[in-house]
């Protein structure tokens, strides 16, 4: 069963909680399909009046912000041993190469790495814990975290919701080609932003990670 088909069987309140929980856990540092759940829920909201897109966006934003904040606290307390432990548990997501790429992004962009990290799957998982490990001042992290969470979660919800509304109208007049075209147009802005962020991270020259003070 596809994600959207499964979500159609779940009550609206449960969807709000599910979206907030999954995105929160992903932001905390656990590799989960937060973006897939959010996109599927927003598209479902556009086709079913029982799901309020505003509440959905608020829950998604809250999950993103709270999850990242918890991840920051864990990273600050656990330090580099935490990254080593995560690398052993999730080598596909927390391998040395992934950590090095994320560190270079933080060294180059600082607060922007937290903000734009929301739009890149790898950085979305790393942002909170890594910001804590690298001892980014919490006020800087909080500003980037709140703004990034609202823009990514709220923006994604709004874009997909309205794309779904337009697509449903088009489908009545044309065919499934209308849905495909609408989705492609609606996702273009997010995909372009992701591509630019990934390209910038990949082109940054490799460097030895700087020494980080011991965890508290």
- Under 8 Å between Cβ of 76 and 216: yes
Contact partners, residue 72, CB within 8 Å, separation at least 6:
128, 129, 131, 132, 136, 138, 141, 145
Token duo for residue 121: 């799957």
Question: Which pLDDT tens digit goes with each residue over 18-68?
Answer: 999 999 998 887 878 888 889 888 888 887 778 899 999 999 999 999 999
pTM of the model: 0.68
pLDDT tens digits, residue range 142-170?
A: 999 999 999 999 999 998 888 877 765 65
Kindly write down the DSSP assignment for every residue of 51-77, as one continuous string: S-HHHHHHHHHHHHHHHHHHHHHHHHH
């Amino acid at each position: 069963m596809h994600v959207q088909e499964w979500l159609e069987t779940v009550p609206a309140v449960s969807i709000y909680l599910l979206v907030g929980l999954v995105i929160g856990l992903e932001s905390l540092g656990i590799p989960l399909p937060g973006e897939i759940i959010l996109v599927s829920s927003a598209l479902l909201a556009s086709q079913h009046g029982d799901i309020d897109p505003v509440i959905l966006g608020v829950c998604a934003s809250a999950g993103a912000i709270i999850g990242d904040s918890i991840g920051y606290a864990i990273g600050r307390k656990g330090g580099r041993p935490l990254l080593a432990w995560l690398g052993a548990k999730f080598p596909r997501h927390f391998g040395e190469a992934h950590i090095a790429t994320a560190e270079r992004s933080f060294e180059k962009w600082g607060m922007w790495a937290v903000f734009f990290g929301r739009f890149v799957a790898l950085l979305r998982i790393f942002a909170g814990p890594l910001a804590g490990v690298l001892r980014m001042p919490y006020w800087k992290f909080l500003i980037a975290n709140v703004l990034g969470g609202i823009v990514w979660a709220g923006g994604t919800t709004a874009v997909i919701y309205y794309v779904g509304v337009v697509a449903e109208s088009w489908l009545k007049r044309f065919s499934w080609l209308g849905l495909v075209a609408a989705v492609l147009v609606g996702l273009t802005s997010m995909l372009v932003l992701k591509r630019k962020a990934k390209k910038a991270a990949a082109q940054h020259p490799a460097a030895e990670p700087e020494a980080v003070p011991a965890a508290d």
